[in-house]
Every structure is written in structure tokens, then in C-alpha cells.
Amino acid sequence: MPPSLYARAAVGLTLCFAGGLALAAPAPAPGTPPGFNVHRVAAHERGAVWRGGAPRKDTLAALAASAKARWVTVTLIDLRTPPNTDDRSGKAGRLAPKDEAALAAKLGLRYLPVSALSKELPSRIEEAARQGDVYMHCMYGVNRTGFAVARYARATGREVDREGLGKRDWSQGFAFQGAQAARKPAGK
């Protein structure tokens, strides 16, 4: 067991024995993290699913601080896979994929590059949400995130906040996920 888990277990046992308290699920993530075009997509018992533009350093710092205070994990789902020249630019303080991965590791955040077209995208989002907060992003927080949010909503049946999502991105993502679900596995 990693040292941080020992510390958490010790604090939890102390609280349970000393005060007779039961540990409850952490409260949903407070406030919107700073960044470009950031919106909360969904809340769940462990935290929130956010979507937005590529994070800046202060975005990751805010996500890390909020998660640490609530003892949850943050997973960064980078939809810039494979990254193009614009994605790698660092424009307006946005972190390029390699810089984001390095800072995420330093702050104790999970970094997961996944294509918006990946068959596993909805299950990856759902798995990450069970562990805490999710920050899903592309470069600008519009097209790929809108498409990915629609896929997530269709695959899971979850109600999501569609604020700022383009109608075209939503409809294409929703249709794409429906087609994915309708496909039969090879050999069947």
C-alpha cells in the first residue's frame, strides 16, 4: 500500500474510533476551475465531470487542491490524441500534452490521453468518475469535448449539462455513439 494510502487509512480509523463518525462520500467538487470554456457536465457522488479547453497551470493546481481537500482523484482526459500542431502550441498559456502530462504527474493527477473516437471513451470517463473528478478537454473545449460529452451521455444514460456545446457536435457525438452500440462484435 502506498504511503499516502496508509496516511488516509490512519486518519479514517482515527475519526471512526475517536468520534464514532462514519466516513461519507466526499461532497461534489466546489466551484468551476479556472481555464478556457470550462463547464461542469455532471455531478456524481465522488465529484464532478468537467469539460473545457486545454488546461493552464492554474487549472491543474485548482483541480489538485480541490481533490486533495476531498480525498479524491482527478483524471485529466486529454482528447488531443493524436495531437496536432495547434494542440502542441501552448497558445494562451494552455499546456501542450507533454507539459500537461509532466505537471499532472508532479501534482498527483492521472493523465489519460484518449481519442474522442475511441470505442472505450465512455467507459474510461465513467471509470474515472468513480474515482473522483474528471477534467475532459481538447484544445478549445468546444468540438471534441462536445462530441465526447454526447457520447458519454448516450452510452451511460446520464443527464448532462449541454451549456456551450455546439448542436452539431452534440448530434454527431450522439449519433456516433448510437452506431457504436449498434455494431455487433466481430465473429458474432
Q: Cβ of 41: how many Cβ atoms within 10 Å?
A: 25
Q: What is the pLDDT of residues 143-167, one digit of tens each?
A: 999 999 999 999 999 999 888 888 8
Give me the amino acid identity at 51. R
Ranges of the chain with pLDDT below 50: 1, 5-28
Report the pLDDT value the prediction gives residue 45, as an integer from 0 to 100: 85
Other residues' Cβ atoms within 10 Å of the Cβ of residue 164: 14
pLDDT 10s digits, 90-102: 999 999 999 999 9
Q: What is the pTM of this model?
A: 0.80
Q: Are 173 and 147 in contact, with CB atoms under 8 Å apart?
A: yes
Q: Greatest CA span in the chain, whole angstroms?
A: 58
